[in-house]
Structure 1
Amino acid sequence: MSEPVVLVINSGSSSIKFQLVEPGSGRVDGSGLIERIGESSGHLVYHYDGGVIERDDVIEDHTAGLHAAEEVVAEAGRSLAERGVAVVGHRVVHGGPVFREPTLLDDAVVAELKRLSPLAPLHNPPNVAGIEVARRLLPDVPHVAVFDTAFFHTLPEAAATYAIDTAVAHANGVRRYGFHGTSHEYVGERAAAFLGRDLEETNQIVLHLGNGASVSAIRGGVAVDTSMGMTPLEGLVMGTRSGDLDAGVILHLIRNAGMTVDELDDLLNRHSGLLGMCGENDFRAVRAMIDDGDPAARLAYDVYVHRLRRYLGAYLVELGGADAIVFTGGVGEHSAILRRDALAGLGGLGIVVDPDRNESPDGSERRIGADGSAVEILVIPTDEELAIARKSIALV
């Protein structure tokens, strides 16, 4: 009997990622990306066992995008109906205080997700758009929402609470929710398994580093702190996001630069971080600029590493020491220089990188710490789609 297939959908503001996953084996039957939705020329690429299908065409909206996904899957050999999709798993960025577990989607849940949109105005509306379209296209298949924030609902109140007026905070849902939770949870579990240790007895610091970036402190498989907050804007320096910022800077820009809320939103989310400091948000391009002697890129990188090390130190204290430091995400998995610099000079804390292991091009789960390192240092590739697929099939 063949294994059931899960269709995983990650719907963004102008893109849709989709993947057909066998949750037990982890086998990917097909993986696609639709970009530039609503623009003058859209792009679709679909990878499957028989090859690659790629085309450019106008993709007016998410409905057209998911129809295109349905068509390209059929073109590759078998339609979604013929593949026997058992469940559709949707990535949803913000579950607010309401959703703490994978949730079966119905009209009432979708309405509640819309109500939560002010907490994640850049992310939840496109997530919901993808859900609504997919439910129309596949009405006879159960749909499940898996939330980025769910893993962090365990944060202690001291870690989750902002020091503002309590009544104002409660009335407006202001607290730390955390994001990238699906990745942090998956990577933490894989790291413990790699080390042959019980998850419940392993303290880890997980660094999810990509265009978006976050770090978490995980005690015995339970999240106790994380760098992202009420929104994915707080914390580490990111590709286009500022990360931590004195709130007074916002007041200063309103009073002295006359900036509006929308202008500040655009500045902090889309034109800050690495992009704001040196004009480039791709980490590889920033490193190339540094190699060419660009001082702005050098400073941007130094700020990035400084912020990362500050969180690392804080979480080592919070956990009372870590059994493992784990790198994941596009930057975390592929930048040996970043890993080296982030952990440089920490031998006194029992954290020692092995240069040869660190620079190995091996893309699998691996140890990069020196033999004498008291703290394990690992690279664990993340697989959020597989995690979503497994959570979705488990629910239904």
Structure 2
Amino acid sequence: MKPASPRILTINGGSSSIKFALFEAGESLHRALDGSIERIGLPDATFAVKGSENFFRPLAVPNHTVAVNVLMDWLEERSARDALTAVGHRVVHGGPKYSEPQRITVEMVEELHRLSPFDPDHMPEEILLTEAFHRRFPDLPQVACFDTAFHHDLPHVARLLPIPRRYEAQGVRRYGFHGLSYAFLVGELARLAGSEAAQGRVILAHLGNGASLAAVRDGKSVDTSMSFTPTAGVPMSTRSGDLDPGLVWYLARTEEMSAKQFNEMVNFQSGLLGMSETSSDMHDLLERETQDVRAAEAVALFCYQVKKWIGAFAAALGGLDTLVFAGGIGENAPTVRARICDGLGFLGIELEEKRNAANEGVISAAAGRVAVRVIHTDEELMIARTVCHVLGIGAKKGN
């Protein structure tokens, strides 16, 4: 009897969700299914799976502990546990220590607990997930894939924050995020356009619920819009992006706002949601913008800020060869891409309207000096590839 192919489970834990995927590692990595437990802690939480099995059902999950137990119970009920070879976790923050993916150990978990203050909105839940899997399946290898790793070796001047030096010694610096997406996109750019393009002057725009940009040269990150936390940079679905730090003191004086309340505001009540006062979803806002000035202004500010970062990163790179759009907005919103690129002809960015409207892979005009591409990003596949590499498992190719 032919042995079953190795199976890799990928876990992407968020502040109110657990997204997962199952890959089979044969000649190449094949995605068997995708799933998610969404809206954890709310009365309308759901559990959904698409692929070899399909369902969507309401779920009572008051916290991540209950949610991960539901997931593990489901795996065991379907005997999927027996076939699992390893689990790969997206870990948002690697701090100053972790620059490479690694197998999770007791010592690493202790270090991740110490890193939790770096990202209190994500790290505790991510650690909880690794510990829960270890308790239930102690012999199952787990690998941490750090979202900050791609930016770990930023040039020193790009890492520095202009605050007193003593904080640098505590690990306060620009870290950057979306690293798994960016690593995947660099690999895809090399596959689609050749190694010369991937080694050139590239700006990657990961625009989704979370949004950031990275300036890449020689396949390495030289700057990125997110900073010490994922709240920095461009406006996002509910995150503010960059703000005047003096706003903290102003709101503390005028509204007696605490640091915790300020953090809640800039992470969960701002961005597209805060500006529009109706929705954090770009699709909704585009539909409403002709009737609702708040929706129109939210879209306009998002496009304007992304455009500014493209200009800044072109300056940091000394020019631009390729611009890549990825993420839910970047891949699916031609109107947003067009507005971002409008007026960037001086950089050599010119779009071909029909290609852009059709979400084609290359959307730049033939006369444009800069190749503008739309590339589907796949963080789960990147995690699965990474697990195979770390543990020496079978296939490392894409699906």
TM bracket (short chain): over 0.9
Alignment map for 1:168-317 (pairs within 5 Å): 168-171=167-170, 173-198=171-196, 201-279=199-277, 280-291=279-290, 293-317=291-315
Q: 1:345 aligns with which of 338, 343, 346?
A: 343
Are the aligned partners of 1:189 and 1:199 in contact in 2 as well (CA < 8 Å)? Answer: no
Are the aligned partners of 2:197 and 2:322 in contact in 1 as well (CA < 8 Å)? Answer: no
Q: 1:392 aligns with which of 384, 387, 392?
A: 387
Q: Deviations over 1:79-114 (max 9, x none)?
A: 2234x2221000100110011100111111011101
**Secondary structure of 1:87's partner?**
strand
TM-score of the superposed pair, with normalisation by structure 2 = 0.93
Are the aligned partners of 2:239 and 2:271 in contact in 1 as well (CA < 8 Å)? Answer: yes
| 2:378 aligned with 1:383 | yes
Are the aligned partners of 1:7 and 1:85 in contact in 2 as well (CA < 8 Å)? Answer: yes
* Counterparts of 2:75 and 2:295, CA distance in 1: 41
* Counterparts of 1:330 and 1:105, CA distance in 2: 30
Q: Deviations over 1:317-345 (max 9, x none)?
A: 11111221000000000000011111112
* Counterparts of 1:337 and 1:68, CA distance in 2: 40
* Counterparts of 1:387 and 1:281, CA distance in 2: 27
Counterpart of 1:88?
87
The letter for the 1-side match of 2:161 is Y
Q: Deviations over 1:25-68 (max 9, x none)?
A: 3321111111233344531111122x412222312433432332
Are the aligned partners of 1:86 and 1:393 in contact in 2 as well (CA < 8 Å)? Answer: no
Q: 1:48 aligns with which of 45, 48, 51?
A: 51
Counterpart of 1:367?
362
* Counterparts of 1:343 and 1:96, CA distance in 2: 34
1:298 is displaced (CA, Å) by 1.3
* Counterparts of 1:114 and 1:257, CA distance in 2: 33
**Secondary structure of 1:154's partner?**
coil
Counterpart of 1:29?
32
* Counterparts of 1:163 and 1:62, CA distance in 2: 37
**Secondary structure of 1:348's partner?**
helix
* Counterparts of 2:302 and 2:45, CA distance in 1: 33
The letter for the 2-side match of 1:223 is S
- Pairwise CA RMSD: 1.7
The letter for the 2-side match of 1:36 is R
1:392 is displaced (CA, Å) by 1.2
1:200 is displaced (CA, Å) by 6.1
1:74 is displaced (CA, Å) by 5.7
The letter for the 1-side match of 2:51 is Y
Greater shift in the superposed pair: 15-24 or 28-37: 15-24
Counterpart of 2:63?
61
Q: Deviations over 1:159-210 (max 9, x none)?
A: 0101111013323x21100000110111122112211233663221000001
The letter for the 2-side match of 1:244 is D
**Secondary structure of 1:108's partner?**
helix
* Counterparts of 1:243 and 1:71, CA distance in 2: 38
Q: Which residues of structure 1 form unaligned runs of 5+?
A: none
Are the aligned partners of 2:75 and 2:81 in contact in 1 as well (CA < 8 Å)? Answer: no
The letter for the 2-side match of 1:196 is G
**Secondary structure of 2:54's partner?**
strand
- Deviating 4+ runs (over 6 angstroms): none
1:71 is displaced (CA, Å) by 4.0
**Secondary structure of 2:230's partner?**
coil
**Secondary structure of 2:226's partner?**
coil
Q: Which residues of structure 2 form unaligned runs of 5+?
A: 392-399
Counterpart of 1:117?
116
1:4 is displaced (CA, Å) by 1.6
User: 1:20/1:312 Cα in 2 relative to 1: closer, same or farther (>3 Å)?
Assistant: same
Are the aligned partners of 2:182 and 2:204 in contact in 1 as well (CA < 8 Å)? Answer: yes
The letter for the 2-side match of 1:392 is V
* Counterparts of 2:152 and 2:352, CA distance in 1: 35
**Secondary structure of 1:369's partner?**
coil
1:15 is displaced (CA, Å) by 1.6
Are the aligned partners of 2:184 and 2:378 in contact in 1 as well (CA < 8 Å)? Answer: yes
1:254 is displaced (CA, Å) by 1.4
Greater shift in the superposed pair: 353-362 or 91-100: 353-362
1:219 is displaced (CA, Å) by 0.3
* Counterparts of 2:29 and 2:74, CA distance in 1: 22
Are the aligned partners of 2:41 and 2:62 in contact in 1 as well (CA < 8 Å)? Answer: yes
* Counterparts of 2:247 and 2:9, CA distance in 1: 43
The letter for the 2-side match of 1:6 is I
Greater shift in the superposed pair: 346-355 or 95-104: 346-355
**Secondary structure of 1:253's partner?**
helix
Counterpart of 2:79?
79
1:349 is displaced (CA, Å) by 2.2
**Secondary structure of 1:141's partner?**
coil
Are the aligned partners of 2:334 and 2:359 in contact in 1 as well (CA < 8 Å)? Answer: no
1:3 is displaced (CA, Å) by 3.3
* Counterparts of 2:69 and 2:55, CA distance in 1: 15
Q: Deviations over 1:121-179 (max 9, x none)?
A: 101111111111111222111100001100001111100101111013323x2110000
* Counterparts of 2:365 and 2:29, CA distance in 1: 31
Greater shift in the superposed pair: 25-34 or 225-234: 25-34
